Amino acid sequence: MQFIILGGTNMYNAVGIDVSKGKSTVAVLQPGGIVVKKPYDVSHTASDLKDLTDYIRSLDGETKVVMESTGRYHEPILHTLSGAGLFVSAVNPHLIKNYGNNTLRNNKSDPIDSRKIARYTLDNWTELREYSSMDTTREQLKTLNTQMSFFTNQKVAAKSNLISLLDMTYPGVNDLFDSPTRDDGSEKWVDYAASFWHVDCVRKISLNAFTERYRAFCKRHGYCFQPSKPEELYNASKELVPVFPKEKEYKEMILMCIKQLNVISANVERTRQKMNQLASTLPEYSTVMGMCGVGPTFGPQLIAEIGDVSRFTHREALTAFAGVDPGVNESGKFKSKSNKASKCGSARLRKTLFLIMSCLLQTQPIDDPVYCFLDKKRSEGKPYHVYMTAGSNKFLRIYYGKVKECLRAQAEADN
């Protein structure tokens, strides 16, 4: 955007902040390349942030502050400046990275980046969106979803490690049960492996003795005893070939891994329940939960990653935020019919969307427009990632319309 500076007209101050852990680099520019303040470092301490706030307030004319939304590092300075009533915009780092690369040199430093952000601020002055803090519930929900992702990755690693160990003592024990995960995170095959960690714990005793031990196991853990199950497990164990002998050292190793897995699984389920409780207090919860493929796990995750849908001006802004929007590839007479998704947005949101698409393909709700669209693209021979991304795009468009209408109705009811 071009600015014409005339005597007596309003002056524009662009504050570019390059954020890093514990400190930020600040530069202030005006139109025409005028340097108001050379890049300097600001620590994320109360005194330094107060000095920065006072300095920005002292600038004559209209001032806008722009920084990259870099994980959690930018939040202390973002909340401080926004809370002081300053115009602050947190932009996607991808926008800054691809801005103004009109040089053959590949220089990168904090001062260079802060000036680059300030120039971006001037050129996009009217399009900048002011940061609006999510309410406490939404912020807590997003934090819980981050922890949920962390615990889930830990659970997958711990479960894979346990299965690899049990394959040496009781091969395939995890395939002997199909009971769902309990609310406390426990699984039947894991509890079974804790009691019968080696095939010799089963096949070296009589069927009657094993049946009584299995009955006691079910009673102790609160599982339903099926009379035919002991014989099935007993016969299957006779055909297995263990690698490790039945020795104390291997038992201790397996029990330690089971204990670790149970702790992580309990954390996952507790976090999942807290997320569902928090999300249920938001106005769009019932609308989101009513969409096909969304349940008590995916619903809160969607709400956590998308946040307040009213901050998106149109549907395309939401699909771009998720990184499932197709690009454009045209030159002269060439027009590409299929383009890759940008993948510039939230990776956790894209993962949740793909899981929802997988759920739709499994349940096949024939009256759901997203599933019908998915099935159509799949029947046309489209590659897996193509129809899954296209389905995610359509799902988000429907999500935007339904939730936006829900929030509008809620606002009218409150008034």
Mean pLDDT computed over 55-67: 93
CATH of residue 64's domain is 3.30.420.10
Residues 68 and 124 in one domain: yes
**Does the residue 313 lie in any domain?**
yes
258: domain range?
138-274
**Does the residue 218 lie in any domain?**
yes
pLDDT tens digit sequence for 359-401: 999 999 999 999 999 999 999 998 898 899 999 999 999 999 9
Higher pLDDT, 137 or 213: 213
Q: Is 370 exposed, middle or buried (0-12, 13-18, 19+ CB in 10 A)?
A: buried
Answer whether residue 282 shows pLDDT above 80. Answer: yes
Residues 148 and 270 in one domain: yes
CA quadruple 104, 110, 111, 114: dihedral sign:
positive
CA quadruple 313, 315, 316, 320: dihedral sign:
positive
pTM of the model: 0.77
Q: What is the pLDDT of residue 2?
A: 41
**Does the residue 394 lie in any domain?**
yes
Residues 156 and 248 in one domain: yes
Return the number of other C-beta atoms located less than 10 Å from residue 398's C-beta. Answer: 16
Confidence of residue 310 (pLDDT cuts 50, 70, 90): confident
Q: Is 67 exposed, middle or buried (0-12, 13-18, 19+ CB in 10 A)?
A: buried
Q: What is the pLDDT of residue 98?
A: 73
**Does the residue 118 lie in any domain?**
yes
Residues 254 and 297 in one domain: no
Determine what percent of the chain is predicted with pLDDT higher than 70: 91
Residues 144 and 234 in one domain: yes
Answer whether residue 288 shows pLDDT above 50. Answer: yes
Residues 363 and 314 in one domain: yes
Q: What is the pLDDT of residue 336?
A: 58
Answer whether residue 56 shows pLDDT above 90. Answer: yes
Residues 234 and 325 in one domain: no
pLDDT tens digit sequence for 192-208: 999 999 999 999 999 99
Residues 201 and 291 in one domain: no
Domain boundary among 247, 274, 301: 274
Q: What is the pLDDT of residue 3?
A: 40
Tokens of 391: 């389905």
Confidence of residue 347 (pLDDT cuts 50, 70, 90): confident
Residues 365 and 321 in one domain: yes
Residues 265 and 352 in one domain: no
**Does the residue 326 lie in any domain?**
yes
Give 315's contacts (C-beta < 8 A, 6+ positions apart): 396, 397, 400, 401
Q: Calculate ∠ Cα 200-204-210, nearest 5°.
A: 95
**Does the residue 1 lie in any domain?**
no
pLDDT tens digit sequence for 91-142: 888 788 877 666 656 667 889 899 999 999 999 998 888 887 666 788 889 9
Confidence of residue 4 (pLDDT cuts 50, 70, 90): very low
Residues 120 and 23 in one domain: yes
Domain boundary among 77, 106, 133: 133
The domain tally of the chain equals 3
**Does the residue 300 lie in any domain?**
yes
**Does the residue 95 lie in any domain?**
yes
Answer whether residue 331 shows pLDDT above 60. Answer: no
Domain boundary among 101, 116, 133: 133
